[in-house]
Amino acid sequence: MSTGLATADKPIDVKATVSWPFFAATLLVAALIILLYGWTLADMAIAWWIYPNLSQGIMIPPIAAYFAWHDRHKTLALPAAPDSRGFTLALMAAFLFLIGNLGAEYFLPRISFVLLLAALTWMFWGRARLRSLAFPFMLLSTMVPLPVLLYNWAATPLQLLASDAATILAQFFGISVYQDGNVIHLAGMSLGVEEACSGLSSLSALIVASLLLGHVYSCRTITRIALLLLSIPIAIAANIFRVTGTAILADWHQELAVGFYHTFSGWLVFLAGYGMLVIATRLTRYILERDHGRIA
């Protein structure tokens, strides 16, 4: 007797679970979303392209789409159970979109787009499928740049922290240097730790990397949370090493501290931070997941 359930010998047929009316409804909803959010999404894409500290946002949508597609069999194997409670989340998204546009605040309309997608999934597919797509939606939320007020609030303390720590480390290596606010004075030149050198861009990128590493390599929520939290001090430490290296090079040979090195050092910060994050991944898995079997 056939029960209609998927078994090891009879996998879920994804094409059979999706009908033409579903495609038609999806296209209609997509057209309405593009009509409503077209300028908001285009403006965010322009910001990704223009501002280097936001450039990681370009990569987020295709990565999120990949994980959603990769787990499509798991998602579609769950029964579709439309849930009217998702309409509450849709109303919240609409409210944020309206308030953001009326107040000329970019963050609220942008994040409301992600909330609206989650709300539509909840309304038409149900809570189980929404939970299955939680990680792609979490990734999509990281593509939205931080609010300007929050960015500025975090940038200044990070600038001063990088200046303080870099001055101490440079003095430890025998460099004659003193600090005045976010300016590091050397014997032959002065270095200003500007907003772009606060480390927020590498922090955003490493937060995304920690989410990816946690999702791919960890099986426990506590491990993923630990990696997310560890990405913050790792990003700060990597940026401090960058500023310290710049100060040491500037004291030795001023031309080496500007131009190509200054641009390339941003990539070095991310690579160094990512390397430390990989090590942190293995350590946290060893500590928190030893009872889940052999750690590869």
Same domain, 174 and 280: yes
> What is the total count of domains within the chain?
2
Residue 44, pLDDT > 60, answer yes
Record the tokens describing residue 267, joined without a space. Answer: 């990539």
Residues written for the chain: 296
Domain limit, last residue, from 110, 125, 144: 144
Record the tokens describing residue 78, joined without a space. Answer: 């769950």
Question: How far, in Å, CA of 257 to CA of 270, rounded?
Answer: 18
pLDDT, one tens digit per residue, over 171-226 is 888 878 777 777 777 777 777 777 666 677 788 889 999 999 999 988 788 999 99
Compute the CA torsion angle 230, 235, 237, 243 (nearest 10 deg): 180
Residue 17, pLDDT > 60, answer no
Question: How far, in Å, CA of 42 to CA of 19, rounded?
Answer: 31
Q: Is residue 6 part of a domain?
A: no
Q: Is residue 58 part of a domain?
A: yes
Q: Is residue 178 part of a domain?
A: yes
Domain limit, last residue, from 91, 109, 144: 144
**Cα diameter, the chain:** 86
Question: How far, in Å, CA of 173 to CA of 290, rounded?
Answer: 40
Record the tokens describing residue 124, joined without a space. Answer: 């038409």
Q: Which range of residues forms the domain containing residue 221?
A: 149-292
Same domain, 153 and 282: yes
Interior CA angle at 196 toward 251 and 270, to 5°? 80
pLDDT, one tens digit per residue, over 113-162 is 999 999 999 998 999 999 999 999 999 999 999 888 888 788 888 888 88
Record the tokens describing residue 69, joined without a space. Answer: 């597609």
Q: Is residue 113 part of a domain?
A: yes
Same domain, 137 and 218: no
Q: Is residue 5 part of a domain?
A: no
Same domain, 139 and 225: no
pTM attached to this predicted model: 0.78
Domain limit, last residue, from 93, 116, 144: 144
